[in-house]
């Protein structure tokens, strides 16, 4: 599952938290890594930003988005977020633990001012979120027209590593039946990086084709 926080890129400076107010992960990570981290927190997550970050993000919308991303960006910066003058108040409005959020934000701001970031976020993507009012953007996984959660399957049928033949539950191969790419367990079964599925498909398809040609001689 993908969950992209950018564009607009200014949102990468925010703090992604779960319902307990605890940091989810480095906000600048690839969308599939963010999605996996959010799913690991029960599918609930919010991005905390301050007034300055929101203003910068709004200025960036037109220049950094495609048309379909623009609709999403405006949604997240308007009705997709709750606003309040204090951290405790915005946490209460979103249903996030206020003490957990306050502690997480304090640690994040300290790192953004020059300390090591607990989640490993690059210094260029860090910025203190300390100018009220505060906003919590709902990044949770739930049905929404303007902020869908695109998904794909990773892995599939268990296959013999040397041939690509589909295996029975007892581990024996099924003659004449092969699986390749995303229909089979392979390189992307536990993670996803753009382009890797194509490489896996080419490799596993070639493997199956070679084996089928060999046994048909």
Q: Where are the domains of the chain?
A: 9-138, 165-215
216: confidence class by pLDDT, cuts 50, 70, 90: confident
195: confidence class by pLDDT, cuts 50, 70, 90: confident
Q: What is the mean pLDDT of residues 2-30?
A: 96
Query: Which region, left, alpha or beta, applies to residue 143 given φ > 0 means left and ψ of -120 to 50 means alpha?
Result: beta
What pLDDT was estimated at residue 93?
Answer: 97
Q: What is the mean pLDDT of residues 1-21?
A: 95
Which alpha helices (DSSP H) does 29-165 contain, by range? 31-39, 51-64, 67-76, 87-94, 98-112
What pLDDT was estimated at residue 55?
Answer: 97
Percent of all residues in the chain with a pLDDT value above 90, rounded to a whole number: 75
What pLDDT was estimated at residue 201?
Answer: 81
Highest mean pLDDT: which range of 21-25, 28-32, 178-182, 201-205: 21-25
The hierarchical CATH code for the domain 9-138 is: 3.90.700.10
In angstroms, the CA 99 to CA 21 distance is 7
What pLDDT was estimated at residue 115?
Answer: 85
pLDDT tens for 149-192 read 888 777 789 999 999 999 999 999 999 999 988 788 776 666 67
Among 91, 70, 99, which Cα is nearest to 138's?
91
Task: Record the tokens describing residue 180, joined without a space.
Answer: 């390749």
Beta strands of 73-196 (E only): which ranges?
A: 81-84, 134-138, 165-167, 173-178
The per-residue pLDDT of the chain, averaged, comes to: 92
Q: What is the mean pLDDT of residues 4-22?
A: 96
Q: What is the mean pLDDT of residues 136-161?
A: 89
What pLDDT was estimated at residue 152?
Answer: 76
What pLDDT was estimated at residue 43?
Answer: 95
What pLDDT was estimated at residue 7?
Answer: 94
What pLDDT was estimated at residue 66?
Answer: 93
Better pLDDT: 191 or 84: 84
Using an 8 Å Cβ cutoff, are 196 and 188 in contact? yes
Q: What is the mean pLDDT of residues 86-113?
A: 97
Q: What is the mean pLDDT of residues 197-206?
A: 84
In angstroms, the CA 51 to CA 208 distance is 55
The length of the chain is: 217
């Amino acid at each position: 599952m993908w969950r992209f926080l950018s564009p607009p890129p200014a949102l990468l400076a925010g703090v992604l938290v779960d319902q307990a107010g605890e940091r989810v992960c480095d906000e600048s990570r690839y969308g599939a890594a963010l999605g996996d981290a959010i799913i690991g927190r029960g599918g609930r997550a919010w991005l905390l930003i301050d007034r300055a970050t929101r203003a910068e993000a709004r200025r960036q919308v037109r220049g950094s988005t495609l048309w379909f991303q623009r609709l999403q960006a405006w949604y997240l910066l308007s009705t997709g977020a709750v606003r309040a003058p204090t951290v405790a108040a915005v946490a209460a409005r979103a249903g996030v633990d206020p003490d957990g959020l306050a502690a997480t934000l304090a640690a994040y701001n300290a790192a953004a001012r020059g300390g090591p970031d607990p989640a490993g976020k690059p210094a260029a993507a860090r910025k203190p979120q300390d100018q009220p009012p505060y906003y919590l953007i709902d990044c949770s996984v739930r049905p929404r027209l303007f902020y869908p959660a695109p998904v794909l399957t990773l892995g599939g049928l268990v296959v013999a590593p040397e041939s690509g033949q589909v295996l029975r539950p007892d581990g024996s191969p099924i003659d004449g039946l092969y699986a390749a790419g995303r229909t089979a367990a392979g390189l992307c079964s536990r993670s996803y990086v753009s382009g890797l599925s194509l490489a896996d498909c080419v490799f596993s398809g070639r493997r199956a084709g070679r084996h089928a040609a060999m046994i048909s001689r």
